[in-house]
Amino acid sequence: MSTKDVASSVRDFLIAGWTVADLHHALDFQPNGSPWAYSGIPSSDYAPRLRGWMRTRLAAWRTHTGEPLRSRDQRSDAQALERRAQAARNTARLLQERAERATRVGQDSPAKIVALAQIRALRQK
């Protein structure tokens, strides 16, 4: 295949932020992570066959509208970002709970208030 053939086959993937490593992975593996049933580039110098092979494998990495899916690296980055965001939300929630507990330390619990009211009532009799 010529450089122009390869470039036209992968252009929209590169525009979508894919790297050469992402493309290499997509040619070896399906989006679900399983390897293709047969491996390797066809042993042929016939460019249309190679182009068809490449486009067939990359077609699995497209949405039903033809847009490239997120690459393995993009998905990994998004998952890492989500894990960091979840950790930040958990930390904020824990800090909020600690702050609420700290403000309640000086306050009497409902059970204590009832018990004190009962004691006062008994003393007034």
- Tens digit of pLDDT for each residue in 70-111? 998 999 999 999 999 999 999 999 888 887 776 766 677 778
- Domain locations in the chain as residue ranges: 3-69, 74-124
pLDDT digit string (tens) for 39-53?
Answer: 667 666 777 888 888
pLDDT digit string (tens) for 22-44?
Answer: 999 999 899 998 988 876 676 66
Q: First and final CA of the chain: distance in angstroms?
A: 102
Question: What are the helix (H) ranges across 1-71?
Answer: 3-15, 20-28, 47-59
Task: Say which residues have a Cβ less than 8 Å from residue 61's Cβ, sequence separation at least 6.
Answer: 13, 26, 31, 68, 69, 71
pTM, entire model: 0.63
Q: Which tokens belong to 120? A: 């006062």
